[in-house]
Amino acid sequence: MAAFALICDKAPAASLGLAIVADAQDASGSDPFGLGVLLHVDLTAATLVLPLDIASDASGNATVVCPIPNSPALAGQSFYGMALWAWGACPFRRSI
């Protein structure tokens, strides 16, 4: 069985960041904290928010392995993710 992972390939090199996975999307982006960083997950509407630490390598590639349980409760659910890197953001691409 292949593992599911969140992959960011344009992160700052050799940096620590914060990955956020939520069940609500903010497609246009908003700045709820007034820091000049657009979030594309809606923290106010989400019923599930998962913060995860993430680290990039010297090339700016970062991966967070996220095993998905075989649970009927997850059928049809949508989740949205992004990473925050020192006042910047990086979109994820899926990998299965």
> If pLDDT is split at 50, 70 and 90, which confidence band does 35 have?
confident
Query: What digits encode the pLDDT tens for the residues 50-73?
Result: 999 999 999 999 998 887 778 887
**Distance separating alpha carbons of residues 77 and 13, to the nearest angstrom:** 33
**Residue 94 scores a pLDDT above 60:** no
* Most confident segment among 11-15, 57-61, 87-91: 57-61
Give residue limits of the domains in the chain: 5-68+77-95
More confidently predicted of 87 and 59: 59
Q: Which two tokens stand for residue 70?
A: 């075989």
Task: Tell me the DSSP string of 28-73.
Answer: EEE-TTSSS--EEE-TTT-S-EEEEEEEB-TTS-EEEE------GG
Mean pLDDT for all residues in the chain:
84
Separation of alpha carbons 16 and 23, rounded Å: 23
